[in-house]
Amino acid sequence: MLALLTPLIKQRPRLINSILPSINLLLGALLFAAISLSSHASAVSSNIVVLAVLADWLHLVAAALWVGGMLYITTTYLPVLARKPVAERAHSLVTLIPYFSPLAFAGVLIMALTGPFAATIHLSSWVQLFTTAYGRALTVKILLVGALLTTSAIHVSLIRPRLKREYYKYAYAVEGVTYNQAQQVKLREGRVTTLTRRLMGVLRWEPLLGVGVIVCVGLMNVFAGTLTPIAAPTQPTTTKPAAAFNATVKTTDNKFTAKLNVNPNRFGTNIFTVTVIDNSTGKPSSNVGVSLYTTMLDMDMGTDSVNLRPDGKGHFSAPGDLAMSGNWQIRIQIRTPDNTLHETKVKLFTPF
């Protein structure tokens, strides 16, 4: 609103005129802060969000110094200058434009520091420069900034120094200090006119590259979501039923055969069932006692015991815990009526 009202209200108090530039500068800085806080810079992890937002804000300020200054030169300064004689145009260009160079250099320096920093935050791989819309917009922006640097270097290091030399030679020729012949004056004037038009042409079209940079910045905000790949739809998985563990082993003295069943063989509570076969008769034995001792092999967790209860048909069962998934050893102990112990061991892997 202030930018629109400033040219309309020409009769302003002196105090307003003195503070108006500062107010515009403050409001512009706040606008850039709002843009940074709502851009992709604020969507990074919380431990670097402050640095990301600050870098983005500085990047916008730098673009305003550099590109904004070029736009002012093109839209305001050059149209006024075009109505002046060639000598005044040349004098103004070699006198006033150098004052803008420090601001432009500061903008370039800040962009050179904050740009790669922001890229390292938002890009996880250089491949994303070509495989994502955000990366392609960033690539075009880099190319446009490179073109801007090239054109700026051309008119700062080549055209402007030559114009400055030719203008002073022309001024000396007009004053008769060095050259007092009309032919020399006309020759110098022709060179000054050519260089002035060339410099004004570069300054007039250079901001178009800057506008392209600003468009790319906007597209990067729009396409920031392409940096996070969209998860592919997954097929619904069906949980396989738990598979019970079964093993058949003989005792070390070969007098009994133990058939062990662990159901469902998952960490947590399981049902342990042992069927005892007397090898001398080949029939289940019910007049024995059965105990199990479970030991975790992957971690020292001690040994737990499970006393199994008989069903009168040669089967012994009881609930017990396998406290975690992994490799277990189960020692089966069979006690006969004469208190003789017959043992065997089984190893199994219990999944999660």
Q: What is the pLDDT of residue 113?
A: 86
- CATH number of the domain residue 327 falls in: 2.60.40.1930
Digit-coded pLDDT (tens) for 9-62: 556 667 766 777 778 778 778 887 887 777 766 666 667 778 888 888 888 888
Same domain as 292, residue 253: yes
Peptide bond into 264 cis (omega under 30): yes
Last residue in a domain, options 227, 258, 280: 227
Q: What is the DSSP letter of 38?
A: T
In a domain, residue 18? The reply is no
Q: What is the pLDDT of residue 338?
A: 87
Q: What is the DSSP letter of 228?
A: S
Same domain as 275, residue 207: no
In a domain, residue 29? The reply is no
Same domain as 202, residue 120: yes
Q: Do 206 and 151 contact (CB within 8 A), yes or no?
A: yes
Distance CA 212, CA 63 (A): 12
Distance CA 205, CA 185 (A): 30
**Count of Cβ atoms closer than 10 Å to residue 242 Cβ:** 12
Same domain as 73, residue 136: yes
In a domain, residue 27? The reply is no
Same domain as 254, residue 223: no
Considering only 87-91, 142-146, 163-167, 241-245, which range has the smallest mean pLDDT? 241-245
Last residue in a domain, options 192, 227, 262: 227
State percent of the chain over pLDDT 70: 85
For 75, the domain range is 39-227
Parallel/antiparallel/unpaired status of strands 268-278 and 256-263: antiparallel
Distance CA 47, CA 36 (A): 17
In a domain, residue 28? The reply is no
User: Please, what is the end-to-end C-alpha distance for the chain in angstroms?
Assistant: 66
CA-angle at 146, arms to 40 and 75, nearest 5° = 85
Digit-coded pLDDT (tens) for 262-320: 999 888 889 999 999 999 988 888 888 899 999 888 888 788 888 998 887 888 999 98
Q: What is the pLDDT of residue 114?
A: 83
Same domain as 214, residue 255: no
